[in-house]
Structure 1
Amino acid sequence: MLEAIAFTLDQAAGNKQILNNIINAKKQEAEERNKLSSELDKLKKNYAKSILNFSLHHLDKISKESGVRFTLSEGASEKLMTYFGDFESLEGIIKNAASAAYNLSYDHSQITIDAGHLILYSYNKASEEHMKQRTDNKYAKSVIYLDRYEEAAQRLLLKDMAINGKNVAQFCIPAVSAAAITINIRAHRENIIILMDRHPDKWTVLREHFKPVQNILKDQHLGKVG
């Protein structure tokens, strides 16, 4: 009887030791995971700061060369800090944003680049799928259409071409028909109004230069209609 009790106690002690070992291993694993996560967050923040500093440096260079003072809005700075592309492409992004902001500005003594002036990535199928995953399903397609038309409109603006349905359709990637744009804007009218209201710094060129969008915003006073 005593031997059985002793065996049971030894077995319990062994099980307890095994359990403690498992707990300690899990604890160590969690600590290492937290440490790695912290290091990754630090790297991301440092990279974001590098992106912003590079952008400011290049923007300062553009300002000196053009004789026009360009600055970044808070929204533009935050948007740039989400960029994970290469620095060579970033130079072109900053240059295009400066051109877009210049063309949209009435006062050329000092120009502020807003988030809406920045096209960080060219439209492609992958970015569309990414947007679908991150945007609420109710507005996903509306956002995709607005982003696609905005990027086309910005390219037209930089080329000093008329921003109308035909040209926007041709400059979309991939190209679409003007009729398709009209149908999409009508079908997503309510979503577009809500999105424009929620994000006043986005889709700047569409607000100011694209009649189909201006017309549906006119009554809501969300666009700049002139």
Structure 2
Amino acid sequence: MNQQFINQVEVLSHLQMSIKLVPGFNRAFAFFHHPIYKEIKAIKLSNSDKKLRIVDTHNLSSDINKLRQSEIKIEWVEEDDIPFEIVSKSTNIQKEVFDEYKHYILLIRIVNKWDNKSDLLYIYFKPNASNFGLKKLDNNFNTEHKSIISSFIKRSFDIYHQQRSEFEEVNNQLRNDNNILGSQLKKLKIESQVREKKVKSQLEKYIYHLLQNEAEKLNLHLQLTQEAQDYIQNFDGELSQLEDAAKSSISMAYRVQNTIEGGLLKVEDYYLKPFFNKEKETSVNTGIEAIEDSRYIKTIQMLNRLENAANKVQSNGANLSGSNIGQAMPSPISAPAISDALKKHKKKIQSLCEKYPDEWTLIRRSFRPVINILSA
């Protein structure tokens, strides 16, 4: 039987828990109004197999409905007083007898939320009632004992039901909170996407404006190819370099095309890429300082500064000359000063470049003073 359905029908959840909550439990029957079939159904739970089983009510609807109308919430009944017969659905044996012992049976009525009548829970106890401090239920089992035991059992069910209701309430609240949070996150995501599109649109217009201004300074008419427009649309690089990038891009396109004054300057994406670098500028920091002898630290730092400066010069489309690299240094220096520093560190540069062949690749490949030292 579906657990979700059991949880919805209170008498069935009580039936399921009775084997754990009721001392001396033998077996139990639950009679309830089915919310879908609109008729009386019965479920059995036995201590022997601990499984919920459907049983036939065998034309008992009228008798059960009379019992469901009673306002007595809990009462003791004897087997002979129960006005119904049970037919086992699996064995089809009429009038199932629970065992040969005389039983006391506790009847608990639980309100059905679908028809507002009481569903019935019959609980049968074992003859050995040591859990209640008695050897047998029929030994000195008087009205006072019954009252104490029924109150104890009802209280156990009430506590269980209260805890389950509180848990369901908290669970429902959490589910509602999650739904609210989910809706808010979805809304924020949509708003963020809208803002991002607006920002990208404004940025695209701004870059086009910068390029247009640079072209007008040269008395040229700007034309962006589709590839160039796509590149600008996807730009996510450093904003601080946009003006310089626009100027360098237009200058390169002008030099290459040698456009006459008043002519059309066609800008391809490859004029933009060297300057509108989509990757944010990062400094070379090899981390070698941490593992090398302290005698090599200054040499390593010098090579790192030269590599960073060379990357910056190349991104601007300029030649990797000593003068250009010197001006691109954090503290600009002259080309002769670079040559003197390299000569001073010649042996260490050779040793480091041999030991770390994958470092400072740009200046080793394209900066003549370093190439000369390594080839000496």
Q: Map Cα deviations across residues 184-216 of structure 1 (whole Å, 9 max, x no partner).
A: 7x9338x96xxxxxxxxxxxxx9xxx993499x
Quote the Cα distance in structure 2 between the aligned partners of 1:42 and 1:173. 41
Quote the Cα distance in structure 2 between the aligned partners of 1:172 and 1:122. 17
The structure, 1 or 2, with the larger RCO (C-alpha pairs under 8 Å, 6+ apart) is 1
| Secondary structure of residue in 2 paired with 1:110 | strand
Shift of 1:170: 0.5
Query: What is the TM-score of this pair, normalised by structure 1?
Result: 0.56
Shift of 1:155: 5.1
| Secondary structure of residue in 1 paired with 2:274 | helix
Shift of 1:46: 1.0
Counterpart in the other structure of 1:39: 191
Q: Which runs of 5+ in 1 are unaligned?
A: 133-143, 158-162, 193-205, 216-226
2:239 to 68, 85, 91: 85
1:187 to 357, 361, 366: 357
Quote the Cα distance in structure 2 between the aligned partners of 1:28 and 1:145. 55
1:149 to 310, 314, 317: 310
Counterpart in the other structure of 1:56: 208
**How do 1:43-122 residues align onto structure 2 when only pairs under 5 Å count?**
43-70=195-222, 71=224, 73-74=228-229, 76-78=231-233, 81-83=235-237, 85=239, 90-103=242-255, 105-108=256-259, 109-112=265-268, 113-118=271-276
Counterpart in the other structure of 1:171: 327
Structure 1 position 9 matched with structure 2 position 167: no
Query: What is the TM-score of this pair, normalised by structure 2?
Result: 0.36
Shift of 1:146: 7.1
Quote the Cα distance in structure 1 between the aligned partners of 2:280 and 2:162. 67
| Secondary structure of residue in 1 paired with 2:205 | helix
Shift of 1:53: 1.1
Quote the Cα distance in structure 1 between the aligned partners of 2:191 and 2:156. 52
| Secondary structure of residue in 2 paired with 1:16 | helix
Shift of 1:106: 4.4
Shift of 1:18: 0.6
Amino acid at match of 2:323: N
Q: Map Cα deviations across residues 120-152 of structure 1 (whole Å, 9 max, x no partner).
A: 8995xxx449x99xxxxxxxxxxx987752422
Counterpart in the other structure of 1:220: none
| Secondary structure of residue in 1 paired with 2:194 | helix
Quote the Cα distance in structure 2 between the aligned partners of 1:152 and 1:13. 71
Amino acid at match of 1:173: M
Structure with the higher fraction of residues in helix conformation: 1
Q: How many residues align?
A: 173
| Aligned-residue identity in percent | 10
* Structure 2 CA distance for partners of 1:211 and 1:98, relative to 1, 3 Å: farther
Counterpart in the other structure of 2:262: none
Shift of 1:21: 0.6
Counterpart in the other structure of 1:218: none
Structure with the higher fraction of residues in strand conformation: 2
Q: Is the 8 A contact 1:58 1:91 kept in 2?
A: yes
Q: Is the 8 A contact 1:155 1:171 kept in 2?
A: no
Q: Is the 8 A contact 1:97 1:117 kept in 2?
A: yes
Structure ID, larger Rg = 2
Counterpart in the other structure of 1:221: none
| Secondary structure of residue in 1 paired with 2:239 | coil
Amino acid at match of 1:166: G
| Secondary structure of residue in 2 paired with 1:117 | coil
Q: Which runs of 5+ in 2 are unaligned?
A: 1-152, 260-264, 287-304, 369-376
